[in-house]
Amino acid sequence: MNASQSINYKRIAEAIGYIQSNFKSQPSLEQIAEQVHLSPFHFQRMFSDWAGVSPKKFMQYLSVEYAKQLLQGKEATLFDTAQETGLSGTGRLHDLFVKIEGMTPGEFKNGGENLHINYSFAESPFGEIIVASTGKGICHLAFFADQTEGEALMKARFPNAKYNQLVDEIQQEALFIFHHDWSKLNQIKLHLHGTPFQLKVWEALLKIPQGNLTTYGSIATEIDKPKASRAIGTAIGSNPVAFLIPCHRVIQSTGKLGGYMWGNTRKSAIIGWEAAQLNGEE
């Protein structure tokens, strides 16, 4: 991400934060633009280029009432209809194509000393990311503010693995998802270490169609653990693969966002962006 793109992304993030905090008062285009020190004309164009919709429309997607409508309209049949979503003639890849392969004890033993991991840095609509892969699939994807810190956090997961800064085919196929050209994707695979409970929760997250939301309680019901909402929240919070495992699609039953490992402003941005794509407003 060059200096100009970085500045623009920070402006978009700041604007989303402002909209998120003030959507109840429905701030005008002029008010939002003033917060990021741009003219209304330039801000409208920049925001629409990023989100695919106007700031006013995006504000509706961030509304708690909109979130409640999604929950009321989709939650009852969310998992029943997941397999149908995106699998018609559109050529788009549905998240269920993402498959999890759990790491064996031997692969994770002694800090992953048997693992060979390639990693690279890339841009996304929501900021810079670090993505890492083994020969079996993506093992880590995270947003970061500083490359050095992002690399250190990745290596803390597998301190004894052998690392190579290299963009491989597995990473490229996964990153296509950020660019809407999903027809080029093969079936994405994830190679993850987690407890059986965590893996089950992450697999449930993959069944949430793009542009839809669900609640912690619904995930608990889906995996037959109706009283485990708190433990499920912990498992969601430990998700090692941002966006591909869509933990951002889980919110509180009240319609409020809840937490997000990579920041609530980014969570709002992703939810709003996906809502725009779902409604064909690209």
Q: Please give the positions annotated as active site.
A: 247
**Token representation of residue 184:** 């080029």
Question: In angstroms, rounded to a whole number, what is the distance separating the alpha carbons of residues 279 and 71?
Answer: 16
Cα angle 20, 25, 27 (rounded to 5 degrees) comes to 75
Residue pointed to by tokens 């005008």 = 28
**Token representation of residue 275:** 């809502």
CB contact at 8 A, 158 and 115: yes
Residue type, 110: N
CB contact at 8 A, 103 and 192: yes
Strand-pair category, 116-124 with 162-165: parallel
> Which run of H or E residues covers position 141?
strand 137-143
Burial track 159-172 (b if 16+ CB lie within 10 A, e otherwise): eebeeeeeebebbe
CB contact at 8 A, 173 and 181: no
8-state DSSP, 177: G
Question: In angstroms, rounded to a whole number, what is the distance separating the alpha carbons of residues 241 and 254?
Answer: 26
Please name the residues in contact with 280: beta carbons below 8 A apart, sequence gap of 6 or more: none
Burial track 81-93 (b if 16+ CB lie within 10 A, e otherwise): ebeebbeeeeebb
